[in-house]
Chain A
Amino acid sequence: MALTKRQSLFLLLICFLVIKVQRLPSLIATNVGRHGWLVLLILGGVDVLFLLLVLLFNKKAGDKTTYEVCERVGSKWLAKIIYILFAIYFILKCILPYEAVHDIFANILFDHLSWELYSVILAGTILFVASRRLRNIGRLGELFFFFIAISFIVLLVLGAVTTNYYRTLPIADINGSEFLDTCIHYNLWFGDFLILYLFIGRVKQDDSKLGWPIIVGYLICVIASAFAYIVFYGLYEYLASNQNSLISSISQFSLLGLDIGRIDWFFVLFFQIGTVISSALYLFLSGDCFKKVFGLKKIWVPLIILAIGVYLADIFIFKSVQAGASIVANITKYFALFMIIILPMILFVIVCIYNKKQQSKRSLLCEDFKKISFLVKRKKVNSSDNLVEYQIDSTLIKKINPPKTNKRRLK
């Protein structure tokens, strides 16, 4: 098994946070201004709802991966189509944290940075991390999660004590159509829960629970990101759309009196570790999907091609970060909407069918078992060796009703 439950939870939360609190608030502020926090709250809420579907899928799938479930219900082709969709979606998601790093380093942190050159190193880093497989990405997430979370909390508190909350009022004058349009436009920045589909069947079964911690953690992150937007907009109001990154600008007003400079930059840079991890995770997941679809033995080939693709997309599309994000959002909005809302529903139907099939198989096996046990009993009457009979009996029961043990160990 590749991941522990704790690691998968941390990876999910890292992915959610780093995408929501960097470039997105500035983009949303351009469209809906003070009501942007509602966009984060509503789309985050939609995420939580569909996260429940993923958890149900996980419960019904047993120890099978999403690919195996799709393969058994439909055919190989159904699984391949769904995995191609995942691959495209995840590579698009990979670009979002990547271009957030681009913005921080090339536009904010350094005056004169040759981004074409520096980007090679960044692409190399995420390629390297992605090539270490899910187990190591999970460990990386577990290792840095608290650094990232503490950095975010510190920056949020620094911003929260200096912001002007009045600027996010009133709520009543909301422009409904523009609000809805913004929700649809920037939905690619949401739907991080979809990574769980690729974790299913790869998570080590232990005594800890995955369901409630994920929902509670996700909800906390949704509320935290909405609050971060309130703080951000309260600080910049009409100029919020000009501030490309929330995380680097949220603490700007709080440490002006310090003689030693902006120590908050340390926290901003710690937070960027999460950006690299999430970008690498999305790259890996996309590469893994392509590997499955094309039946490749090694993941290196798709990973290298995808990393080059991310590099080129960043160089050419995100030459202007603001315009680039808008282009990507415009092209992908309906696809992302399909992935966040329709695909989980389709997958839920698939897993229900799979479950039903399994149940009918199980009932058939039970009938077979009755016949065999009858034979065994008869054997038992004739045979004096009880031990052999017991072993056969126990194996049959295990096959009918598999216990919750490690799959490999079972083999």
Chain B
Amino acid sequence: MKKFKKFLKNKTWLLILLAGLLFIPQSFNYQAKLNMRVLVSGLAIDKTDIGYEVTAQVIMPTPGSEGGGTGARLDFISEKGESIGEGIQKIAYKIGKTAGLSHTSFVMVGENMLEDNLASALDYFARDAKVNPSIMLLVCSGKAKDMIKETKNLELSVGVGLQKVFIYKQSSLNALVIPLEEFINDSFGLGKSAMVGGILIAPEGKEQLEEQGNSSNGKNIAGESEGASNDEFSIGAGGASSESGGQSSGKEKNARIKFHNDIYYFKGGKYVNKLTKEKEILGAYLSEKVSTSGDFKINSVTGGILQDATIGVTFTNKTNKIDVKFKNGNPVLVYNISIRDVQIVEILNKDKPSINIYNKQDKELIDIVRSKLEEEIELCIKSAFMKAKIDNVDIFNVGERAYQLQYSRWKKYYEKYGENYLKNSDIEVNVSIRNIN
């Protein structure tokens, strides 16, 4: 005890300094206080006549939250500005609180943003140190403002943590998460080609892009005439405007995120086209290294006991290895996809029911499934590549990889073809499946 007292006496200096270091930044200005802060968890950006309309999905701590309550309020605040930065500043001013952008996890852009160069338009996010470049970029069909407001009809954890949901979806072959930095880097890289995943949130059963697009456009006109708006939606216990003890504020949370969203591809930051067919979309998902598991459906499998069967499989431990080779002087991107475990989860053997389909050891069945699955994966990736190739967009970065891995040969090739290098480039997909069932 004496020693401790002596230590305290001798090290008072140090303790004061440490206390200062810990507490002063928190207490010197009032903006730092929790109830004076508002967290921007997501942003939606649309193009307007004067510039941009920014809509922020914000989580505001309610008065009860500082005293240990758990309530929070989800608001949507819109502002217009000549630039995105101006719009965000106006939002912070309008709230009258400090807007923290460091918690922003996604940015949605409306389809009208695709008229201009998207990479240039999003410059604000690449520069501002407060915004993480890891934020997810999404393209909405129709107006982004309407789409972000639809997140209120999702469960809170989904609405707020949209990025987390998409990361999970991506790892299980159901989404494409492109961080902002990847989009900008790809747009300015050698191939100048980038992909961005789409998003559609709609009431259950209405997840059709066209329908949403039309309805959004209708809302756009009305929304623009209103100018800046503030739509509030309350959730959580203890919140000032929330119902006591309930999650819901009375509205039914029936919104759903579309299963396979379209994938938009860009050249030099400018929108070119989108992948809409299921095979193309799956091809884009499969090309991603992070999609390590997922469910896959193979149609029209015939052979052995199978007759025009539909087979559902679940695969895990998928790994992608990329290589580049030159064939007749032309670059070929080689995807070596290895899947360790595949589990057959469903066989719909339409016209030929047989008890043998339950035999997990049936070599013939397994070989058919294996070859069909390998074929399907190859087809998906190639169909995505070919569609973008027609538009001269190198979505799988053949040029960039050839430049990185085969520099001297690429240099000669690029001198010959220049920007049109994709014309003679190709892709090769080698799939190997180790275990089935």
Please report A residues at the B interface, Cβ cutoff 8 Å.
Answer: 105, 107-108, 110-114, 117-118, 121-122, 124-125, 128, 166-167, 169-170, 172-173, 235-239, 242-244, 252-253, 256-257, 259
Contacts and interface: CB of A to CB of B under 8 A. Distances in A.
A148 to B, nearest CB: 17
B192 to A, nearest CB: 12
Contact of B181 (A111, A125, A236, A256): A236
Contacts of A121: 17, 20-21, 24
B71 to A, nearest CB: 18
Contact of A256 (B21, B105, B322): B105
Given A111-B100, A237-B185, A256 B164 contact: yes
A86 B208 CA distance: 71
B185 A238 contact: yes
B17 A169 contact: no
Most A CB within 10 A of own CB, among B13, B31, B164, B404: B404
Interface string B137-180: 00000000000000000000000010110011000000000010
Contacts of A108: 129
Contact of B179 (A105, A113, A170, A253): A253
Contacts of B188: 238
Given A121-B20, A239-B133, A166 B401 contact: yes
A252 B20 CA distance: 28
Contacts of A124: 17, 20
B132 A252 contact: yes
B363 interface: no
A108 B189 CA distance: 27
B31 A112 contact: yes
Given A111-B100, A244-B129, A256 B29 contact: no
Interface in B91-145: 98, 100, 102, 105, 126-127, 129-130, 132-134
Contacts of B184: 238-239
A236 B185 CA distance: 8
Given A111-B31, A117-B24, A239 B126 contact: yes
Given A110-B32, A114-B29, A122 B21 contact: yes
Contacts of A235: 181
Nearest to A131: B13
A253 B290 CA distance: 12
Main secondary structure, interface of B, reads helix
B183 to A, nearest CB: 11
B25 A110 contact: yes
B403 interface: yes
B364 to A, nearest CB: 40
Contact of A117 (B17, B28, B134, B403): B28
Nearest to B184: A239
Q: Which one of B20, B134, B184 has the highest number of Cβ atoms from chain A below 10 Å of its Cβ?
A: B134
Contacts of A105: 25
A172 B408 contact: yes
Nearest to A255: B134
A42 to B, nearest CB: 21
B417 interface: no
A252 B403 contact: no
A121 B98 CA distance: 25
A172 B31 contact: no
A107 B102 CA distance: 11
B22 to A, nearest CB: 10
Given A121-B17, A125-B21, A252 B134 contact: yes
Lowest 4 CB-CB distances: which A-B pairs, in order?
A: A169-B404, A170-B407, A237-B185, A121-B20
B138 to A, nearest CB: 15
B129 A239 contact: no
B228 interface: no
B129 A114 contact: no
B13 A128 contact: yes
Given A125-B17, A252-B134, A257 B408 contact: no
A275 B25 CA distance: 19
17 contacts: A112-B32, A118-B28, A121-B17, A121-B20, A122-B21, A128-B14, A166-B322, A167-B185, A169-B405, A169-B407, A170-B403, A173-B407, A237-B181, A237-B185, A238-B185, A239-B133, A256-B164
A352 B256 CA distance: 79
B167 A166 contact: no
A236 B400 CA distance: 16
A193 B270 CA distance: 50
B24 A118 contact: yes
A124 B21 CA distance: 10
Residue among A111, A128, A242 with max Cβ neighbours from chain B (10 Å):
A111
B29 A112 contact: yes
Contacts of A118: 24-25, 28
Contacts of A172: 407-408
A94 to B, nearest CB: 17
Nearest to B136: A256
A331 to B, nearest CB: 25
B407 A257 contact: no
Interface string B403-417: 111011000000000
Given A111-B32, A111-B98, A238-B185, 11 more contacts: A111-B102, A112-B31, A117-B28, A118-B24, A124-B20, A128-B17, A169-B407, A170-B403, A238-B189, A242-B133, A259-B164
B130 A239 contact: no
Given A237-B185, A238-B184, A114 B164 contact: no
Nearest to A252: B134
Given A111-B98, A239-B126, A256-B164, A166 B17 contact: no
A256 B14 contact: no
Nearest to A132: B14
Interface in B28-50: 28-29, 31-32
Contacts of B404: 166-167, 169-170
